[in-house]
Amino acid sequence: MIPCQQHHPPDAARTAAPSSPPPADKPWQQRSRHQPRGRLARRDVAFKAEHLRLEPNCRGCGRPAEQVDHILPLAKGGAMFDHANAQSLCGPCHNVKTRSENAARNRSRSRRSGG
Ligand SMILES: [Zn+2]
């Protein structure tokens, strides 16, 4: 006869701190890899605020800009804190650019199958 030890888990399972964040191992919950953290994030905020002062209007439509976009994406080696690589965009124009970038990526990744 084998003693059933599995019905008595060790105390470690109960002493886990309730305030610890849940594991983020789900890809759809992860944040963008290109978002800087810590000190870089603060510099990023300052840089964008400065760029919006230099270039307050959206390059796409001329309305007041809300966001600073990297012309050459960081993922492709673009400079993060270079005003020459930054452009001011309003929300809608930024969405359009992001969507077109994603579409281009999907197009280049998907294989042609038949006609
Ligand atoms: Zn715009």
Query: Over the stretch 1-38, which tens digit does the pLDDT of each residue have?
Result: 665 656 665 565 555 555 656 555 665 655 556 667 88
Q: 93 or 73: which carries more pLDDT confidence?
A: 93
pLDDT tens-place string over residues 72-84: 989 899 999 999 9
Expressed in angstroms and rounded, the spacing between residue 110 Cα and the centre of ligand 1 is: 30
Residue 64 φ/ψ, nearest 5 degrees: -55, 130
Q: What is the pLDDT, as a whole number, of residue 109?
A: 75
Question: How does 44-76 read in b/e, with b if 16+ C-beta sit within 10 Å?
Answer: beebbeebbeebeebebeeeebebbbbeeeeee
Q: 100 or 23: which carries more pLDDT confidence?
A: 100
Expressed in angstroms and rounded, the spacing between residue 52 Cα and the centre of ligand 1 is: 13
Q: What is the pLDDT, as a whole number, of residue 113?
A: 60
Q: What is the pLDDT, as a whole number, of residue 108?
A: 80
Residues 87 and 59: their CA atoms lie apart, in Å, by 7
What helix, strand, coil percent values describe the chain, rounded to 5?
40, 10, 50
Expressed in angstroms and rounded, the spacing between residue 34 Cα and the centre of ligand 1 is: 23
Please check the confidence at residue 94 and state whether its pLDDT lies above 90: yes
Say if residues 62 and 22 touch (Cβ distance below 8 Å): no
- Counting residues of the chain whose pLDDT is more than 90, the rounded percentage is 50
Residues near ion ligand 1 (CB < 5 Å) are 58, 60-61, 90, 93
Expressed in angstroms and rounded, the spacing between residue 113 Cα and the centre of ligand 1 is: 37
